[in-house]
Every structure is written in C-alpha cells, then in structure tokens.
Amino acid sequence: MRLFALIAPLLILALTAARPAEAARPHRIIGNVYYVGQDDLASFLIVTPKGNILINTGFEFSVPVIRESVKMLGFRFEDTKILLVTHAHSDHAGGLAAVRKQTGAKMWALEQESELLSTGGKTDYLFGWAGWFAPVKVDRTFKDLEPIELGGTVITPHWTPGHTKGSTSYSLEITENGKIYHVLIANLPNMNEGVNLIHNDKYPNIVEDYIKGIEVLKALPCDIFLSSHTTAYGLESKYHRGDTYNPDRFVDPDGFRRAVARAEERLYRELKQEKDEEQFAHDYRNFKEYKEPPPQ
C-alpha cells in the first residue's frame, strides 16, 4: 500500500502524458467564473477589469491547454494577475511556475501551503520526492478567511486541511439575474491510498485536521459546487460542448453534501480499520508472550 502511494503520482503523470492533452470544453460557469482545465484536472479562471485570477494549473504540460482555453473564451492569458491553488500536488500545482513565468502573475497561497509550493511538493507528508513538481515562488501568503480581492471580485479562502496541510477551498458570491449564488470551489477532504491516520510522524494531527476540514465544508453555503477534479462535481452530466449559458445547470448543493459525506464516512472507516489492526497486533503479541503456568 505504501509503495503504491509513492508511485501513484508517477503513474498518473505517465498515463496522462501518454495521450495528447485536451481541454475539457472551456465554458462559462456563472458570472465571471470560467472553466479552462485539462480533462479531469479542473482549472478556473475568474475574470475582472483589473486582470484575472487562475485557480489550479494541472501538470506543467497542461499549461498550453489552459492558455488555449483562455484564448477560446476571448480572454488574454497574459492578463492573469493572481495564481491560486486548492492544494499543492503535482496534478494541480505542476504548472504554476510556468504560468507565473509566462504571465508575470503573482503566486498567492494559504500560509500553511507555502512551504509545499516552494519545495515543489518534496515536503509532502505522503508523497515526498515521488510527488515532485517545479517549485514556485510564493509572492504572498494569506490566512484562513482573509479576503482575496481583485477588480471588484472578492474570494474567501477556507482552510480545509487533511489532503495536504494547507488544502484550501474558495468561495465567492455572484449575483445573476437578481439572484445570489454561493459558488464554492471545494477542496474535498479525500484520502490518498497509503495515508496513515494513527502514528503518522510526519503529520501527527492529521485526523484532527481532516475533521476540521470536513466540519468547515459542512458549514459552508453552496449553490454551485466545483472542485479540483471535474469528476468530483459531475461536470460530464452538467455540461456538454455547445450548451447555452445557464448557471443553473451547475447548481448542486445536494451533490456537494453527498461528496463531503462520502469523505467523512471513509475517514472514520479507515480510522476504525487502523485502530482494529493495531489492536489485533497488540493482542497477537501478548498472546505469543503468554505462558501457561506449570501443572500442579
């Protein structure tokens, strides 16, 4: 299990690189929020009069796809001013350094995720060197709930740790046709294979952080549910190439609640399994050490 966890990022990279990168139908989601990602790797462009915000870049080889998607939507890639990421794994952060270099955009990150970005993922508690990507300089750090503002758009970051120590969800409110929509790019507290929940020396408070992330997400209002992977929020069933603009197609509060509930259920299931295995090992050791008293 541990070996799989270490080589998984490399397998994903190899499988994804084996076929040409494709845009997953760049489209307008709602208001000034657009989808510009590659395949299942979700990237979101938020357009403002003062420049644009890009959340997630996929791998480094995803960057040309994102650039072309931005162009297809009628915007300039060079107008990207702020880079954000939901979490610093190679499939979402691998292209950040390249985009920063190409556009001059500034990398902003939650303070708890800054080190992981700066080291290119090498300090990750699970993947370490197996999950490397091009390091990206963090130009500005922000705190949990500290507003990110550009051109009249305000994004609120929410610290939802566990998947990484600085995993971040982003929310914003958008008014469309007189209706307020709560848009949430949720960093779901999912678990990678090989994660140790108990006796994790590299992340001693991982269980508490996972619980915190889950509780934060459960408390957030969500009309339009987005996430780091398109499969997580069911893009395939909500939008098809050529569909006319309709933000209501992305309204899915029930889907969001179900996704969080699944993550919570798995956390407690995995935690119970690890505790049961530890108890079994303890009982087995004690059984082996037990000696019957001599007969009288």
Give a yes or no: residue 92 inside a domain: yes
Within-domain flag for 215: yes
Please say whether the beta carbons of 90 and 96 come within 8 A: no
Q: Which pLDDT does position 11 carry in this prediction?
A: 43
CA distances from 282 to 164, 270, 289 (A): 30, 18, 11
Whether this prediction's pTM lies above 0.75 is answered by: yes
Q: Single out the residue of 197, 247, 190, 235 nearest to residue 213, CA to CA.
A: 190
Task: Name the residue range of residue 103's domain.
Answer: 2-289
Measured CA distances, 17 to 3, 8, 102, 249 (Å) = 22, 14, 21, 31
295 lies in some domain: no
> Does residue 187 belong to any structural domain of this protein?
yes
| pLDDT at residue 283, as a whole number | 53
Domain count for the chain: 1
Residues contacting 244, CB < 8 A, separation 6+: none
- What pLDDT was estimated at residue 129? 83
pLDDT on residue 14: 41
Query: Token digits for 103?
Result: 């556009």
Q: For 281-293, how does the pLDDT look when each residue is reduced to its tens digit (9 = 90+)?
A: 555 566 655 455 5
Q: Cα 194–195–199 angle (5° rounding)?
A: 120
Q: At 126, which CATH number? A: 3.60.15.10
Intervals of the chain under pLDDT 50: 1-23, 280, 290
User: Could you tell me if residue 49 is inside a domain?
Assistant: yes
Strand-pair partners of 38 = 23, 41
296 in a domain, yes or no?
Answer: no
Tell me, what's the pLDDT at 276? 77
Average pLDDT, the chain: 90
Q: Where are the beta strands (DSSP E) in the chain?
A: 27-30, 33-35, 44-48, 51-55, 80-84, 106-110, 140-142, 148-150, 153-159, 168-176, 179-186, 224-227
Predicted local distance difference test score (pLDDT) of residue 275: 86
Within-domain flag for 227 = yes
Q: Is residue 6 part of a domain?
A: yes
- pLDDT for 25 equals 87
pLDDT of residue 50: 98
